[in-house]
Structure 1
Amino acid sequence: MNSRRNFIKSTVTAAAGAAMFSSAKSYARVLGANDIINFAIVGCGGRAHGLAKSIGFVDKANITYICDVDGKRLNSFSKHCKELKFNPKLEKDFREVFLKTDVDVVVIATPEHYHAPMAIWAMQAGKHVYVEKPCSHNPYETELLIAVQKKTGKLCQMGNQQRSSKTSAMAINEIGEGIIGDPYMAKAFYARARQPIGVGKKVPAPEHLDWDLWQGPAPREPYRDNVHPYNWHWFRTWGTGEIHNNGTHEIDIARWALGVDYPTRVVSNGGRLAHSGDDWEWFDTQIASYNFEGNKQITWEGYSAQAFNPGGGRGTVIYGSKGVIQLDRGKYVLMDLKGKKLKTEWEGKHKAATDTNDSIGFDMLTVNHMRNLAAAVVKGEKLNAPIYDGGISTQLCHLGNIAQDVKVSIDVDPKTGRVLKNKDAQKMWKREYEKGWEPKL
């Protein structure tokens, strides 16, 4: 027992942890077509409810473990899983879960500062991974995550579930066939009337919350009463702002439609414009612009303090030389150059999560995305959002935030996504980690 405790303790320490998880590959099962896929869900907030329900639509799937550092959330989510006819075991420490032999896929729905480290450690422990967007807290983690996936050979799908949308895939195929001519520009947007989060008071963490384990790889800070369970999104230590929280989805679709990867130049404007005086550290208004080779461009419009947008609450508009397409999670609308609607294709009879106030996000897109991962595990089906591709969309969001912070346009290597010349921007590539918690290859 003592040696096992030492093993668990060391799994998150630099090189030692990586080496031990590499040796733990033997824990992973080799799945056959008739095997049940065992899922573990780490992070039991709102999104986990949608993910668990989606797993219920996957053939031969079970949830064997759920994990959260918040005991109240863990117990509440356990009841939800039982309503879905699952009976998972409960764990507080994710490191315990990664040691289990009856876990094939780890689903990560934690705060963003944990996404990449947890995905890395899970793959090093021999597990396949479904990691919610964004796949990283900083660009360094994206690169490391992709490298670990290549090294371990484990599957890693990012939760940009619109890649599993039938109408979006239809639109991309038709764009490739020339339905709007040459696609040259895409606008990704999101609008929601979020309220200020106030100034947090430093108070003892609730007894049901392990605040130290909640922080994990992030440098330690005292607990404040306006961080958990949701407002961490707007703090730089743990979150990445609206461009990652929702822009990852829309920018990803814009990339897919234009057929582009890394940009050559990025500029961003905005700030905390609508509100002030609270603890919100990211931007409530942001307009980021990306230039690509081939004379193509993507813009991101993020509005976190008001809900009006002429195109709706969220979506992506693709402009071509002969027409325009608007996509959201529920439909595909084709228009001519004057804005006349030529056709509308709906996702299907099941609801798509287009409501910007929906933090659970259960829809058939998530079901299809989870089914795709399961088919990849058992049958070798191609992933719709492999981490090397989802990572590119994540890096674009990081580059938007970096450009906003340095207040000048930044040049980017279109082959690697790395910032060129600007030393201030280059310094933002990696975060500071709590000692002993930095993920390694």
Structure 2
Amino acid sequence: MKRFFTTIRNIFSIEELRTRIINTIGFLIIFRLGSFVVLPGVNPDKLSGDAQGIFGLLDTFLGGAFSNASIFALGIMPYISASIVVQLLTIALPYFQRMQKEGESGRKRLNQITRVLTIVITVFQGIGYLTATIPSEALLVDRYYFTISSIIILTAGTIFCMWLGERITDKGIGNGISMLIMIGIISRFPGSLVAEVISRGTGGFLLFVLEIVALLFVVMGVVMLTQATRKIPVQYAKQVVGNKVYGGQRQYIPLKLNASGVMPIIFAQSLMFLPALVAQIWADNSDLAASVGNTFSDFTTWQYNVLFALLIIVFTFFYTAITVNPNQIAEDMKRNGGFVPGIKPGKPTSEFIDNVLSRITLPGSIFLAAVAVLPAVANIAGVSREFSQFYGGTSLLIMVGVILDTLQQIESYLLMRHYDGMMESGRIKGRAQNVAVAQ
């Protein structure tokens, strides 16, 4: 405990770090306050306040802003969608690949394209959101004028959230976009925890303690999944430049067990709404279609979870293949005079890295699928629907990843000022740590 208070004192004794933490807290407060500002022309008492399906997932990420018809109802999600599209374009199209290799100027052009695409996506998502989630009885004005004005407001709200995320990245601590999502998820945790306590009552205190212990072990497992890496040793040849000798060191290429992060779960969860949606079209004329619709509308059925897990495994292999390029890694190593001991540079090195990546991706995808279906298992075991969402899935993975990134940022400031790190042994490794680590 003494070490903990010493670390806190050291954190706030560093002026730059203290300023960044205060700025981050201030920006997050602004974001949360905006989540409670209702769109003009809406009577909030007429809203159901209970989003289901994909809307429920978005509402979890946005901390309730989606179901509250807030000016931040779409939040940062259109920007994330635009970023994913641009990221895929940089892999598929040579034009975007060249732009990505142009350095700072190319990065600025890609950011500008992402911002413009964000506005386009926000407009289309805004129309769908206003049509699907806000009933006519909740409107105080004509729907036509309400739709036009609300699309403008929602677009401005998304741009403002995007600006807040960039300010947190520049003036605060950590990745601002990820932190906005995390704070939206965490904001729902106290309410769901209190609701779970009330539902258990005084006689269910022991069960509630067991739920908390199980949640603790799940969080530990997710941290292990996020941190796990397979280190490939790399030896660099000695080079004499002038009177100095460079190289000759053994370093490592850390290949993460879960290199794809939460993207496979997001992709799979988006597709899981298609079976129920398609089945509803023929539900009135077919008992089979009605049965399929009911089955895939319930996230606790075994059919839903088996298909969900298989999609996650497939998308994990797919996303890992498009984000980790063994050929590029092998080429960079060869150019810098590096080689894997016992493996020839060039194509044999690329094949070796690809083989290792394939072997670790399979258990990683299985663990990721297990984490994704844990909320359904918890709900079947008696945990309330809202509280069970914190036992795994996208929410828990995002929270763990962002918290680890933030702790890594804080630890780097402490170590630069020659203070002790956050941990007694070892280093905190965030998701952004993909460089070779010297032994």
Which TM-score bucket, shorter chain as reference? under 0.3
**TM-score in terms of structure 2 length:** 0.25
Q: TM-score, normalised by structure 1?
A: 0.25
Say which structure is richer in helix.
2
Which has the higher Rg, Structure 1 or Structure 2?
2
Higher relative contact order (CA 8 A, sep 6+): 1
Question: Is the strand fraction higher in 1 or 2?
Answer: 1
